[in-house]
Amino acid sequence: MPARTPAARRGLRPLAAALALATVSAWAQDAAAPPAAPASSPPAAVRNSLLDAPLFYQLLIGEIEAREGQPGAAYQVILDAARRSRDETLFRRAVEIALQARAGEEALTATRAWRGALPTSQEALRTELQILSAMNRLDQAAEPLRALLLLAAPAERSGIIAAVPRFLQRASDPAHSARLVEEVLKPYQEQPATRVAAEVAIGRAWLAAGDAERALGLAQQAHAADAAAQPPVLLALELLTTRREAEPIVTDYIARPDAEPALMLLYARALMTLQRYPDALQQLEAVTRRKPELAPPYLTLGALYLDLKQPAQGEAALQRYLALTESAADSNAGSDGDGVDDDAASTPSQGRIQAWLMLAASADQRGDYAAAERWLAKIDDPQRALEVQARRASMMARQGRVDEARKLLQAAPERSPQDARAKLDAEAAVLREAQRWQDAYDVMAKALQTSPDDPELLYEQSMMADKLGRADEMERLLRRVIELKPDNAHAYNALGYSLADRGQRLGEARDLIARALELAPNDPFITDSLGWVEFRLGNRAKALELLQRAYASRPDAEIAAHLGEVLWAEGRQDEARRVWAEARARDARNEVLVETLKRLKVRL
């Protein structure tokens, strides 16, 4: 970052000078402002600004150099001013100029000068650590890490320990980072006041390095040291998707009467991610019983009930969510006031829009189009306009007005390429709902003209090819999806299930579905596919075990159709009828269920 001729020698450009003057003036005001005092305190003494005439001119020159694209000269001028004034704001600005110029060495030099001038500055130490991490100089990070921890007040130390892994997260060798964190925090593991924070921080570092087993052990140790502490529970929740052994840490904590509702809600959402829906329902209901005044759990609960085809419970939960958030808005709360973030929305207003959309969808499914339109009419957000029109189009299609629905979507404004794609997705969904497979296929083909290698579009096109009886084309498209995205579990599953359903290449079908289950080990639909292929292979006992497990996790009508057929084949016809009746009560229009009952000539 070489220095250039100072701006003072070249003449000042008016715009650059004006902007630089504004920046320096703002700095001067900050430097002269006294610390904030309580309202009851006497007026603070006036503090003279550090900005004398030579320093003002120096800063003005530095800012002009920065604005005219001369970062080398700007850096040198501002850093010299920082050293002279020992002002933290100027050291920060020198580092900023160096980083913007991608000059890591100069940024590091500035942070070390900052530390030399202000040895107790925690910000200088944090900045140095972040720069060392970005430059992969972890061998130099131990000293500033130790210094930062020693500077911390005892009451703040655990919080800084918890942040240590974040200081090093940009390093290219996570295992090296984890060893460094472990080495620096070892003394704090041995102190009761900081043991939990240290063990969790080390655990997070090892988790980032891919060693979940070591992270789990540290989480267990931290929880054993303090069963009421929240950090070990948060680490356990992160581990839950890969290490079921982490779950007792969570369940032990949430059984406490003083358990934080936010953690209970996070656990419910983790269970949903694991597709353990009955467990997630139980947990969400427990949160609402314990803290009925909290709004966010009702939004998640309502969404889950609707997804599980339980509209009455879902609508009741969403109505409760709306009542709570609207009450908070009426009292000018500005938030849910509970310390728990909405899952589907970042603010209560967005959460209410999400609830209105879900209530409209539920009313649409029940055929109450007037109620659905009333919910949609509440939404006045340009960012969600396309979602609203898509829901209106779905209602039109359900009433047989498919062409009108398509025109509504096609006329919707497009603010971005994403909107254009969303419109095509919505149009294809309308056509699928109306079982106009060829038209849906053509819409997907149009989308693929713009994005021919989009795995999601190719997958949807393959599903339409299947509906049109084009098995070879479906297989070709799915294999292309797998080629583009080898970790796409749905593509393996769809191909394997299609082969199994047609009774073709059953060994290959089982291998494909097994691969899908490796990629998504908790997916009940993939477990259902594996059960179905085992049934086709004649392995009824194995099929029954898999299908019962899938149905317990997700009582879906299609899974119920398969489970009932295996029970029927085993001579357990009363059980089969019960499963089918439950499924029909939830989703009487499910194609697989309808076809199964018709083929087996079963009347319920």
CA gap 355, 361 in Å, rounded: 10
Mean pLDDT over residues 266-288, rounded?
A: 92
Query: According to the model, what pLDDT value does residue 413 have?
Result: 87
Rounded to whole angstroms, the Cα distance separating 187 from 456 reads 50
pLDDT at 133: 87
192-239: pLDDT as tens digits? 999 999 999 999 999 999 999 999 999 999 999 999 999 999 999 999
Give percent of the chain above pLDDT 90: 68
Asked if residue 85 lies in contact with residue 50, where contact means CB atoms within 8 angstroms, the answer is yes
Q: What is the pLDDT of residue 329?
A: 61
| Percent of the chain residues topping a pLDDT of 70 | 87
Q: Please give the Cα distance from 131 to 102 (Å, whole number).
A: 11
In this prediction, residue 349 has a pLDDT band, given cuts at 50, 70 and 90, of: confident
User: Residue 338: its pLDDT value, please?
Assistant: 46
The 10 Å Cβ neighbour count of residue 46 is 8
DSSP state of 44: P
- Residue 326's pLDDT is 85
pLDDT beyond 80 at 15: no
Does the pLDDT value for residue 40 go beyond 80? no
Distance in angstroms (rounded) separating the CA atoms of residues 562 and 548: 10
pLDDT score of 194: 96
Write down the mean pLDDT value for the chain. 87
Calpha distance 113→109 (Å, rounded): 6
26: pLDDT confidence band, cut at 50, 70 and 90? low
Residue 168 predicted with pLDDT over 80:
yes
Backbone dihedral angles phi then psi of residue 366, each to the nearest 5 degrees: -80, -10
Band of residue 346 on the pLDDT scale cut at 50, 70, 90 = low
Q: What is the pLDDT of residue 50?
A: 56
pTM listed for this prediction: 0.76
The per-residue pLDDT for 21 is 46
Q: Is 498 helix (H, G, I), strand (E, B) or coil?
A: helix
The torsion angles phi and psi of 364, rounded to 5 degrees, stand at -60, -45
Mean pLDDT score, 466-491:
96
For residue 424, what are the contacts with CB-CB under 8 A and spacing of at least 6?
443, 444, 446, 447
* Residue 1 clears pLDDT 60, i.e. is over it: no
Q: How many CB atoms lie within 10 A of CB 119?
A: 11
On whether the CB atoms of residues 218 and 199 are closer than 8 A, the answer is yes
| Sign of CA pseudo-dihedral 503, 509, 510, 516 | negative
Q: Residue 44 has what pLDDT? A: 46
Mean pLDDT of the 404-423 span: 89
pLDDT band at 6 (very low <50, low <70, confident <90, very high): very low
Work out the average pLDDT over 561-573.
Answer: 96
Which amino acid, residue 136?
N
Residue 30 has pLDDT above 60, yes or no: no
